Amino acid sequence: MSMFCYQCQEAAGCKGCTVKGVCGKTEDLAKAQDLLIYILKGISVYSVKGREVGVINKEVDKFITEGLFATITNANFDRNVFIQRVRRGLQLREELKQQVINAGANLGNSNANENWLKKMLSFVGFKREEESNLPDAAIWFANNVEDFNVKAETVGVLATENEDIRSLRELIIYGLKGMSAYVKQATHIGYDNDEIHGFMHKALAATLDDTLTLDDYIALTLEAGKYGVDGMALLDKANTEVYGHPEITKVNIGVRKNPGILISGHDLRDLEQLLQQTEGTGIDIYTHSEMLPAHYYPAFKKYSHFAGNYGNAWWKQTEEFEKFNGPILMTTNCLVPPKDSYKDRVYTTSVTGFEGLTHIDANEKGEKDFSVIIEHAKKCAAPVEIETGEIIGGFAHNQVFALADKVVDAVKSGAIKRFFVMAGCDGRAKSRNYYTDFAQALPKDTVILTAGCAKYKYNKLDLGDIGGIPRVLDAGQCNDSYSLVLIALKLQEVFGLKDVNELPISYNIAWYEQKAVIVLLSLLYLGVKNIHLGPTLPAFLSPNVAKVLVDNFGIGGITNVEDDMKMFLGQ
């Protein structure tokens, strides 16, 4: 087997990609990513000890967050980036180790751990010691690519032999990847939460610990859900305090006559800077996929050249980027390996990357200079119109709370019988047409609550409204699933219910990558039961771990629209 990855919904044969990723990830890239994750675990061993004695190294926090995020599906396909990160990670680990030792960290309480300390002291200066009790990830060192390649063969997912322990370790790591994405976006806006970093490091280090049991890992999985909620809350605070609360907004999906720049991914600070730098240049800015909800924020409405949303979810980019004619800026995942026909127009920033594309880095203040993209756009034709009209969104928590009376009355009168949370991701699998069919088949007295790119399966259908309340309420990006949780908790309070599961809300969630994993863990942590997950259950859930989720949380898959409709509506 040349590689093994099963972190996303497209894992080959619902088991794992073993030759090349369905996403386009090559064997070399997969191995470099595996090695980086291993290095992050090793750094975390020292970070955990450091925090016990007050050592918080912000560069380490940033490095781990960005390293995790870079390995998310469809974020970065540039192997050199990962090799450089491995090199820097090894240096950073040694710097942190020195800092921790200088701070007098107690590295353990057993004889073995005293030995740990002695060994640690002897490692300073990159010395290798074979008999250490430290995990290998905390001491292994190399500085040439050949050695990296050899090591990478031994540290991937399959290095954990017990399939249940492996399943839980990976579930935790994928949750951390999702969490890292939200934390990275929040820190880019200037918001941070040290406890989340502390947890990420504790959990990464725990995946190296062979003394932990299945129960320990299950507890850690649920704890990840708690920090998932905190991560989404942090990003919500950052977005809403800086850009205002999303409000009901109609977004144009047609085009204008000027050349345009298309911005995709999730990072609102990148969008803000692009809007500022393109003001008065005669270039229009369009959003793609998960950047659509940016239109709902008051702060961006003042830009008259913020023209609309172009196209659909991430997987349609290979046709839509071709037709857009102008440059495209990828701020986060999902990037699809670009076709030659438009490759020269795609730019990456932050953790995204692809060999051969121009990458734009931030300065120390997080500022980016997009002038190369702007000059490029000036030479391009206006986008080809692929559709016309408007879509409506902006139903995040603040806006829905403002409508609470109307919504509650509609529920009390029976005009709204049930809500369906259909948040999550979209993807290219044909089986995902299920979600379009499901939305269309829902009774007219039901309302869809959505967030994430999953919405593109039904946000352009004419599903009507209930007394002025649209039947599809889009809260925003996948992280705005947090809004859906707040809305559910508000309804629970208004109706005076003891348990959030007593509400007339069903969960039919579509997943693709690891942000959906942290959203799922967050919902489980909040006590939400009977979530249905599709189009297929994660390949990384072993039968026993899946059984734990079924027995304790009522997690289930999907079948077909007709049977699922009966199941959800209790007929």
Q: Which residues are annotated as a binding site for [4Fe-4S] cluster?
A: 5, 8, 17, 23
Nearer to ligand SF4, 25 or 376 (CB): 25
Decide which of ligand SF4, ligand SF3, none touches 452; Cβ closer than 5 to 8 Å per partner kind. Answer: ligand SF3
For residue 368, which of 263, 441, 289 has the smallest C-alpha distance? 263
Instruction: Give CA–CA dist 201/521, Å, rounded.
Output: 18
Nearer to ligand SF4, 156 or 452 (CB): 156
* Interface residue with ligand SF4, options 11, 101, 486, 558 (CB under 6 A): 11
Residue 323: CB atoms within 10 A of its CB come to: 14
- Residues in the chain, total: 571
Under the binding rule (CB under 6 A), the answer on residue 17 touching ligand SF4 is: yes
> Residue 331 binds which one of ligand SF3, ligand SF4, none, with CB within 5 to 8 A depending on kind?
none
| Two structure tokens written together for 411 | 């529920």
Tokens representing 354 are 């692809």
Q: Please, what is the minimum distance in Å from the beta carbon of residue 76 to ligand SF4?
A: 11
Which one among 326, 452, 534, 538 touches ligand SF3, defined by CB under 6 A?
452
Residue 449's nearest CA partner among 497, 413, 411, 499 is 411
- Residue from 15, 19, 23, 93 touching ligand SF4 (CB under 6 A): that is 23
Binding-site residues from annotation: 5, 8, 17, 23, 266, 290, 334, 425, 453, 478, 513, 515
Query: What amino acid is encoded at 495 in this protein?
Result: F
Nearer to ligand SF4, 73 or 522 (CB): 73
- Contact criterion met (CB below 8 Å) for 66 and 36: no
Q: Dihedral through CA 229, CA 234, CA 240, CA 243, nearest 10? A: -140
Q: Please tell me the distance from the alpha carbon of residue 424 to that of residue 334, in angstroms, as a whole number.
A: 13
Asked if residues 350 and 70 have their Cβ atoms less than 8 Å apart, the reply is no
* Cα(236)–Cα(392) distance, integer angstroms: 20
Q: Please classify residue 494 by burial: count the beta carbons closer than 10 Å to its beta carbon, then call 0-12 exposed, 13-18 middle and 19+ buried.
A: middle
Residue 25 binding target from ligand SF3, ligand SF4, none, CB below 5 to 8 Å by type: ligand SF4
Provide, rounded to whole angstroms, the least separation between the CB of residue 10 and ligand SF4. Answer: 4
Whether omega for the bond prior to residue 17 falls within 30 degrees of 0, making it cis, is no
- Span near ligand SF4 by CB under 6 A; candidates 8-16, 180-188, 277-285, 347-355: 8-16
- Sheet containing 306-309, strands listed edge to edge, beginning at the edge strand earlier in sequence: 306-309, 284-287, 260-264, 328-330, 346-349, 358-360
522 near ligand SF4, rule: CB under 6 A: no
Is 144 within 8 Å of 35 (Cβ atoms)? no
Binding piece for ligand SF3, criterion CB under 6 A, among 82-90, 130-138, 343-351, 512-520: 512-520
Strand partners, 261: 285
Beta-bridge partners for 532: 508, 556
Spatial contact of 347 and 329, defined as CB atoms under 8 Å apart: yes
Between 123 and 420, name the residue whose CB sits nearer to ligand SF3: 420
Q: Is 334 a binder of ligand SF3 (CB under 6 A)?
A: yes
The yes or no reply on residue 453 touching ligand SF3 (CB under 6 A) is: yes
The entry of ligand SF4, ligand SF3, none that residue 333 binds, CB within 5 to 8 Å by partner kind: ligand SF3
Of residues 82 and 512, the one with the C-beta less far from ligand SF3 = 512
**According to the binding rule CB under 6 A, does residue 434 interact with ligand SF3?**
no
Shortest Cβ distance from residue 513 to ligand SF3 (Å)? 5
Of 207 and 477, nearer to ligand SF3 (C-beta) is: 477
Phi, psi of 509 (to 5 degrees): -100, 135
Binding mask 459-478 for ligand SF3 (x = CB under 6 A): ------------------xx
Helix H or strand E segment including 372: helix 371-378
Candidates 35, 73, 185, 548: give the one binding ligand SF4 (CB under 6 A): 73
Using CB under 6 A as the binding criterion, the count of chain residues that bind ligand SF4 stands at 12
Shorter beta-carbon distance to ligand SF3: residue 47 or 73 = 73
Binding site for ligand SF3 (CB under 6 A): 266, 289-290, 314, 333-334, 425, 452-453, 477-478, 512-513, 515-516
